[in-house]
Amino acid sequence: MIEYISGKLSSKKPTEAVVDINGLGYKLLIPMSTYELLPEPGKEVMLLCYQHVREDALLLFGFSTASERTLFNLFIGVSGIGPKLALAALSSLPTSELKRQIRSGQADLLTRIPGVGKKTAQRIVIELRDRVDSGDEDAGVSSQQDAFSSARADAVAALEALGMSRNAADKTLTSVLNKHPDVSTAEELIRLALRS
């Protein structure tokens, strides 16, 4: 198994990063929280990994913190949740908020994750309630991720309130972040999304 990848960041998008290691580019699927912490292309980067082997594909998932990877591994251990849905969960809410909701049994709030219905949310709570830790080993990094994830969630909610569907809001914000990777507040995200 690949534990981590360290090399030069070749390119980045909100859903993936390519890391160049001695002329070989590794594509990693990443959550939004990891994307926000990536340096500019051309800089050195180190990402923790999860390697997923399927009959038709070999996929690498990258994480900026151990906390993200641990929660990802817990999610894919839940019946009916695969790596892409686990990644969607990490992209939808800050890691600390996901843990808090699971520990407190707030299954209804987990339905905000794209692809998670009421039954799946209840299954997540039942299977993970006693397994998620209350501490955060990456507190400094996590608070930065939480702030960005919260801003993105606020921007999605505001765009939905203005009549945009959740899917359209997510696509618009992804496009905005591709063009303006330094944007970090909900107000800026909303303003740029409405202009596009």
Query: How much of the chain, in percent, has pLDDT values that exceed 90?
Result: 26
- Estimate the crossing angle of helix 95-104 against helix 83-92, to 10 degrees: 100
Fold of 4-63: OB fold (Dihydrolipoamide Acetyltransferase, E2P) (2.40.50)
- The correct answer on CATH 3.20.20.70 for the domain covering 67-128 is no
Average pLDDT over all residues of the chain: 83
Q: Is residue 132 a contact partner of residue 74, using CB atoms and an 8 Å limit?
A: yes
Q: Which of 40-49, 73-82, 101-110 has the lowest mean pLDDT?
A: 101-110
In the chain, which segments carry CATH 2.40.50.140? 4-63
Predicted local confidence at residue 29, as pLDDT: 95
- Range among 130-139, 143-152, 185-194 with highest mean pLDDT value: 185-194
Top-confidence residue, 1 or 63: 63
Neighbouring-strand partners of residue 38: none
**Each residue of 36-75: pLDDT tens digit?**
889 999 999 999 999 988 888 889 999 998 889 999 999 9
Predicted local confidence at residue 145, as pLDDT: 55
Predicted local confidence at residue 144, as pLDDT: 53
Predicted local confidence at residue 134, as pLDDT: 55
| Of 104, 107, 97, 28, the residue nearest 67 (C-alpha) | 97
Q: Where are the alpha helices (DSSP H) in 49-165?
A: 66-76, 83-92, 95-104, 107-110, 118-128, 139-161
- Cα dist. 177→14, 30, 120, 181, 185 in Å? 7, 14, 29, 5, 11
In the chain, which segments carry CATH 1.10.150.20? 67-128
Top-confidence residue, 151 or 115: 115
pTM for this model (two decimals): 0.66
Fold of 139-195: Helicase, Ruva Protein; domain 3 (1.10.8)
In the chain, which segments carry CATH 1.10.8? 139-195
Predicted local confidence at residue 140, as pLDDT: 45
